[in-house]
Amino acid sequence: MSAGSIGDAPVRPIAILGGTGPAGMGLALRWARAGESVIIGSRDAQRAQLAAVAIEQKAGTPVRVRGMENSAACGAADILMLTVPFEAQASLLKQLRPAMTAGSILIDATVPLAAGVGGRASRTLGVWQGSAAQQAAELVPEEVSVVAAFHNVSAELLFADAALDCDVIVCSDDPDASQLTRELAAKIPGVRAVDGGKLENARIVEQITALLIGMNIRHKGHAGIRITGLPPGAYR
């Protein structure tokens, strides 16, 4: 059974909004390889279609990937993955809000890096709501659940063939949406998902990315994190 399906229902597509950047391409590749149906969303439909072709070619096996304009992608799916720079997050969510269907899940990977306003990628901006994910929660319709996840996964390592060596911390106020997201994370080889608790904790997970970026700059690496010391049942 696909994580994107419920019971015997057909596979639910995953729309990756703003999905032509490195993180979106990487997640699309991994999920497509895992048998998920993926829609790449972009401002420009043609650019989205080209990205879909690039993912098909990289995958090496038959996969289900399509490209669409962001609003169309949003309307065609109820699992929505947001992979845009922080400075583009609010305006894109305002634009997409009318296209979101009730009961959708928005998975937000946005990190408020200071680089977005000309500062350093190893520093973050303060977000009034506490985190980029909480800002997202304020901007989507009430019937849409927001989940924060995938902040700390190297985009470069995602858009590649080797298994990863990192965990994904998942924060949400909706336990079902959190679980679905943890199942999607665990479809990426080498990734374990860990429940990070409520959405408000996203503020910490987002910050970790800035710390890892600093390490990457100092050591020319692709830093990720593993959570140790929890019982096996804590990892999915």
Give residues in contact with a second copy (CB under 8 A). 122, 154, 157, 165-166, 169, 194-197, 201, 203-205, 207-208, 210-212, 214-216, 218-231, 233-234
Q: Which is nearer to a second copy, 69 or 195 (CB)?
A: 195
Given the complex with a second copy, which of 56 and 174 has the nearer CB atom? 174
Residue number with CB closer to a second copy (53 or 215): 215
Tell me the two tokens of residue 181: 């997201």
Give min distance, CB of 209 to a second copy, in A: 9
Amino acid at 171: C
Least separation in angstroms between residue 178's CB and a second copy is 11
We find the least distance from the C-beta atom of residue 225 to a second copy, in angstroms, to be 5
Question: β-strands 166-172, 79-82: how paired?
Answer: unpaired
Given the complex with a second copy, which of 94 and 198 has the nearer CB atom? 198
The C-alpha R_g of the chain, in whole angstroms, comes to 16
Provide, rounded to whole angstroms, the least separation between the CB of residue 157 and a second copy.
Answer: 7
Of 178, 183, 222, 232, nearest in space to 201 by CA: 178
Pick the closer one to a second copy by CB: 117 or 230: 230
Q: Which amino acid, one-letter code, is at 62?
A: P
Task: Work out how close the CB of 19 gets to a second copy at its nearest, in angstroms, rounded to a whole number.
Answer: 23
Rounded to an integer, what distance in angstroms lies between the CA atom of residue 236 and that of residue 219?
30
Backbone φ and ψ of 37, nearest 5° = -95, 120
Please give the structure tokens belonging to residue 153.
């996964």
Distance CA(186)–CA(172), nearest Å, equals: 17
